[in-house]
Structure 1
């Protein structure tokens, strides 16, 4: 058994380059929670059947446990961290095939695993593959193996929409699939990128809508007023809003 290469390299880069982001509240804090799941040789990986509980993780009463939260997010792709649930990976696979995007914009690169996943799946599923562009401020955590001919990483402070390269956005072909997994100025970025979106483009907002607080509800009202509709196939394919983007698989009308 060995430590997942993606996790080991990620934490080496994180501790070296962003020590202030390791503690509670930092963008790397969640990684502490998934460490034992990503590491393939963690001490309690193997257990006797008699020592295990019998309630399946799909049971509603067990949704709060690690098996459906941290465990799902600890999946890796080619050894790299993706921070995507199996439900959402299946949904993105279907959407890439259905939409045939020429451009995928990823907000939040983390280690680069999900960007690599998007690039591989675009190359496999699209008749006319385009480009994947991933944006993040903390680019020193991107793994050296997160490379693909269709994939480009950009160092951008997502708290400042003026940091985007408008010339790049204006030239990128449609349809677009935008996926926001950065959790920074979510609706400000949405409003900015909406200027470049065309009818039929998709915009997926991950994780933040789960809170469903006043900020999110008001933000989704802004989304609706901007001409976007929820694609309920993707929100409800596995059950009502059983996705990390509840009510936020959005299609521009």
Structure 2
């Protein structure tokens, strides 16, 4: 039986290299995330404006009513590496990769590298012309040595500073793009920057942050709407209204 590399290896690396980042509420603090706390795909009103949608979600209230259930879902590993994706979202990403046939996947937030490896594996299987997966994070020493794939590249980038991105790299990457923001750092500033490189049909997914549905998130999604993005309600509502870690935030550029 193969054992998960999981949390122990991650904490050992993080404690050694980024002790200041592990403080409660810090960018590597997983405690608030994982411990404390079918529709017809072709229907005519599939794409909706963010301003036309409510924020009611059954993710926490119905599917994760117990603390242990949430922990179990978010503690899933992939090839022994931390992935931190719910089973619902993994199923949705599988469908989107097949449907979109992305040539580029950009992942913001690498953690241990498990989700980047998952995206690379699924791109190689589901895409007729597999492209590239690029994962960005400041804490690259936390990426496990087993997170390797021919399509996958990790980049050491401070996501609090959009100027840290390699503009030449972004300009050469083929479309369609799928961008997944799971870093929770300056999410709308990064969106505004990356939107310069996005074209019609590209997708942008904001994970976790929209579950708060506070004023900052709602105002930010109004900016997204003004930038020509619509919510793909197949992905927000496939398992129930906003039953995803990205409520109202599976977005397609018009």
Tell me the TM-score normalised to structure 2 length.
Answer: 0.86
What are the Cα deviations for residues 173-192 of structure 1, in whole angstroms up to 9, with x where unaligned?
A: 00000000000000000000
Partner of 2:8: 8
2:167 maps to 1:176 = no
- 1:221 is paired with a residue of what secondary structure? helix
Output the CA distance in 2 between the equivalents of 1:20 and 1:191.
29
Structure with bigger gyration radius: 1
Partner of 1:114: 115
2:235 maps to 1:226 = no
Partner of 2:22: 22
Output the CA distance in 1 between the equivalents of 2:132 and 2:63.
39
Correspondence 1:41-80 to 2 at 5 A: 60=61, 63-80=64-81
2:135 maps to 1:151 = no
Output the CA distance in 1 between the equivalents of 2:8 and 2:78.
14
Partner of 1:100: 101
Asked whether the equivalents of residues 6 and 79 of structure 1 are also in contact (C-alpha less than 8 Å), the reply is: yes
| Higher RCO (Cα < 8 Å, 6 or more apart) | 2
2:163 maps to 1:162 = yes
Output the CA distance in 1 between the equivalents of 2:240 and 2:224.
23
What are the Cα deviations for residues 111-148 of structure 1, in whole angstroms up to 9, with x where unaligned?
A: 00000000000000000000000000010000000000
Asked whether the equivalents of residues 204 and 250 of structure 2 are also in contact (C-alpha less than 8 Å), the reply is: yes
Cα distance, 1:215 vs. partner?
Answer: 0.4
Asked whether the equivalents of residues 5 and 82 of structure 2 are also in contact (C-alpha less than 8 Å), the reply is: no
Q: 1:212 to 1:176 in 2, by over 3 A?
A: same
Cα distance, 1:5 vs. partner?
Answer: 1.8
Tell me the TM-score normalised to structure 1 length.
Answer: 0.87
Output the CA distance in 1 between the equivalents of 2:93 and 2:78.
14
- 2:197 is paired with a residue of what secondary structure? coil
RMSD: 2.0
Partner of 1:44: none
What are the Cα deviations for residues 12-36 of structure 1, in whole angstroms up to 9, with x where unaligned?
A: 111111111222112222158758x
Q: 1:2 to 1:29 in 2, by over 3 A?
A: farther
Q: Name stretches of at least 5 consecutive residues in structure 1 with no aligned partner.
A: 36-57
Output the CA distance in 2 between the equivalents of 1:33 and 1:188.
22
Asked whether the equivalents of residues 106 and 132 of structure 1 are also in contact (C-alpha less than 8 Å), the reply is: yes
What are the Cα deviations for residues 62-108 of structure 1, in whole angstroms up to 9, with x where unaligned?
A: 73422442221110000000110000000000000000000000000
Output the CA distance in 1 between the equivalents of 2:105 and 2:185.
18
